[in-house]
Amino acid sequence: MELMSIVPQKWKVDNGARITITFVFLCSVFSGTETIKLSEYVLDDGVASNCNEDITNKVSVILLSQPGAGLFGGLTSHKADQNCSVTFEVEDGNKILLQFPFFDLQPPSGITCIDKVVITELGDGSTDSTDICTDQDFVSVTDKIEIQFLSDSSIQKKGFKGVTASFHDAPCTDSEFLCDTNRCISTSLKCDGEYQCVDKSDESKQLAGCTLGDQIVNTVTGLGKYGLLALVGLVAVIFFTVLASIFVWKCSNSDDKCCQCHKSTDDDPEDWNQSPPTTSRGKKTSKLNDENNAKTKKGKKVTKTKVNQDDNVDW
C-alpha cells in the first residue's frame, strides 16, 4: 500500500504545505552555514582538522581548540596530546590582534604552562614566541604569526575560541573603522558579532551603528558552522517526532477509511469467505438477536413441558 493512501485527504493539502515550508526553512538555515561572516579553523587532529594550513587574504578568522568550542559556555572538551598549528598572514604593514572570547585550559603549574597556545612571530624583524595558558590578548609586531595548540594527556578542559583581526595604527581610510584604541580595522568587521577592537567599539550601537537586525543575525551565525548544523538536526528531529505523533493521534481518533492501514477484504480473495468487520452497531444488533433466540428456546421448552403434563391427565 502506498504511503499517501493512508494519509487523510484534508492533511494532504494543509500539512503538505507546512512540511514544504519547514523544509525550505531548514535548507535555508543549513545553507546559511556557508555564509557565516568569519571562517572557522579547528586546531585538533580530528575530522574537521585544519592543522598545518596557511591562512591568507583574510582580515579576521575564528580559531577553535575543537569543533563547537565555547558554544553555550562550553559543551565539549578539547582532545588530549594535541600538537596542531596554523599560520595567519595579513597585508604588509598591518599587525595582528588575537583575543579569546572563550578560554578554558589547564591552569599553569607555577609560571610554567601545561596546555597552552604558543604564538610565534614569522614576519620580518622578529622570531619571538609567546605562551598563553590564561585568558589574555596578544598583539603581534609583524604581519605573520603561527598559532600552535599543545595539550598533554592529564586534564582536558573546555578549550578556547580565539578571534584574530588585521589592523594598523591610525589614520584610517574610508573603508576602515577607527577603534577607540586608535587602531584601524576593515569596516566589514563592524557588527559581525565578534569583537575585533579591544574596546569592543566595533559592536557598539552608538559608535559602529549596529542595529537590532545585526544582533538577530549575529545570534544565529554566532553559533558557528557546527552549532548551526547541530541546531538544524535537533529542529528536524523535534519536527518529525511531533508530526508523527499528531498523525498517529489523528488516525486513532478518526473513522476515516484512509486511516485504516490494513488491506480491504475485497482486495484479497482469501478473505472473501470471512465475516466482515463487526462495528459497534453490529455488535449491539448481534446481542439483541442472541437474547431473542434465548427467549424463543425457553418458550419452546415451557410449551413442551406443558404438553407432557397434559398427556398425563386422566380423561
Looking at domain 42-169, its CATH architecture is: Sandwich (2.60)
Grid cell at residue 253: 481518533
Q: Which long-range contacts (CB under 8 A, 24 or more apart) does 234-237 make?
A: 235/26, 236/26
What b-and-e string marks burial along 77-105, b requiring 16 or more CB atoms within 10 Å of the CB? ebbeebebbbbbbbeeebbbbbbbebbbb
Residues 6+ apart with CB under 8 A from 236: 26
Cis amide linkage into residue 8, ω under 30° from 0: no
Tens digit of pLDDT at every position of the chain (315 positions): 444 444 455 444 455 555 555 544 544 444 443 445 789 999 999 888 999 999 999 999 999 999 989 887 788 999 999 999 999 999 999 999 999 999 999 999 998 999 999 999 998 878 899 999 999 999 999 999 999 999 999 999 999 999 999 999 999 999 999 998 899 999 999 999 999 999 999 999 999 999 988 878 766 665 555 565 666 777 788 888 888 888 787 777 766 555 555 445 455 555 545 555 555 555 555 555 666 665 555 555 544 444 454 554 453
Domain boundaries, the chain: 42-169
pTM for the complete prediction?
0.64
Torsion angle, alpha carbons of 165, 204, 172, 56, to 10: 20
